Structure 1
């Protein structure tokens, strides 16, 4: 038996009236509620935006404290200096370990992002030089929080493995550009430059080591130049 088309189940008046009500009231609802929906979406976005800003501010406070040697600073003091409640801190970082790891990963992500930014704004060899100087700053941060990182529950193998991957990829693009421009020799490996500067971390304890490390950057760049 042939099936009855869907529209045939509706009487013409009922169909017309139902569709008319749908179009009129549906459009009316959309028109009258559009402003309210936008305002509601804005209200929902604002807490998320504020949350991101608070997280960034907490990381900046912790980074500054750790960088000045306050590695054992209480979490409530970090919250106080940031100007937020301690509950806000715990909303973003479950415990001290989480905050320390977040500071380290944030520094790592900044360094990776800097490689892209420098490649877009500097000549190839100068982008590489500038990034290596930033790498020295990264070593300084890592040295300060290394004792805390090493005490993290679960260890640091995954964290350091991630850092090697991120750093190698970041410097790799800069080295490739410098080779292609003829500014450095094609036999230069990115990991060689990282290892050379990484070795400085063994002496990153006394005053004045950072300027010396940054002078080493100039030595590495000069030594990487093509012969002749």
Structure 2
């Protein structure tokens, strides 16, 4: 992602940035706010100077990771719809939503700290996620596989509830059972 007024990154710089973001997700999920940035750089296979050139502060890195994760989650909706029947695409996307929440769980304290400074790391993320979910639900409704009396806001609230109660990696089996129960409740009656 390039901000207005910035030149696009060279291909190698873009790859390094992506490697840092990918490593940061893993390290923050495992270690939370106390994760050492040098560990992230090492895990990404880059030097500390490369990490700090891309992300001058911990807060900048956390916010970039969060925004990148939201974008990847939302970008997955059309990809899944192109590859799977609508209901299966919705089911697969809800699993990606769990992955997203699990990764965010390790960063929650850092995101709260950033929000406390007046920055809004969440920005338009909730609306972006609901838009992606709406596209999946619309495709399912058009295919006749889910009820039409449930809104994306309703399903989003259900997904958030599941995530709040089952966000830890060791709770994944329970979270998937709750997702299945929720999605089964959306199906149209045969």
Normalised by the size of structure 2, how large is the TM-score? Answer: 0.87
Highest CA radius of gyration, 1 or 2? 1
What CA distance in whole angstroms lies between the structure 1 residues aligned with 2:180 and 2:168?
Answer: 21
What is aligned with 2:25? 63
| 1:104 counterpart = 2:66 | yes
Q: Secondary structure at the match of 1:193?
A: helix
What CA distance in whole angstroms lies between the structure 2 residues aligned with 1:215 and 1:155?
Answer: 38
What is aligned with 1:81? 43
Shift of 1:69: 2.3
Q: Secondary structure at the match of 2:10?
A: helix
Q: 1:226 to 1:52 in 2, by over 3 A?
A: same
What CA distance in whole angstroms lies between the structure 1 residues aligned with 2:109 and 2:189?
Answer: 42
**Structure 2: gaps (5+ residues):** 1-7
Contact 2:166 2:174 in 1 (8 A): no
What CA distance in whole angstroms lies between the structure 2 residues aligned with 1:151 and 1:206?
Answer: 21
Query: Which of 126, 146, 154 is equivalent to 2:117?
Result: 154
What CA distance in whole angstroms lies between the structure 1 residues aligned with 2:99 and 2:61?
Answer: 20
Query: Which of 130, 144, 164 is equivalent to 1:182?
Result: 144
Contact 1:65 1:71 in 2 (8 A): no
Normalised by the size of structure 1, how large is the TM-score? Answer: 0.74
Shift of 1:88: 1.1
What CA distance in whole angstroms lies between the structure 2 residues aligned with 1:78 and 1:227?
Answer: 49
Contact 2:147 2:187 in 1 (8 A): yes
Shift of 1:203: 2.3
- Cα deviation code 1:119-174 (max 9, x no counterpart): 10000111011101111111111211111110016345x33241111101111100
What is aligned with 1:191? 153
Mapping of 1:9-158 within 5 angstroms?
48-152=10-114, 154-155=117-118, 158=120
**Structure 1: gaps (5+ residues):** 1-44
- What is the count of residue pairs matched by the alignment? 182
RMSD: 2.0
- Cα deviation code 1:95-135 (max 9, x no counterpart): 10000111111111110111111010000111011101111
Contact 1:101 1:149 in 2 (8 A): yes
| Greater RCO (Cα-Cα under 8 Å, separation 6 or more) | 2
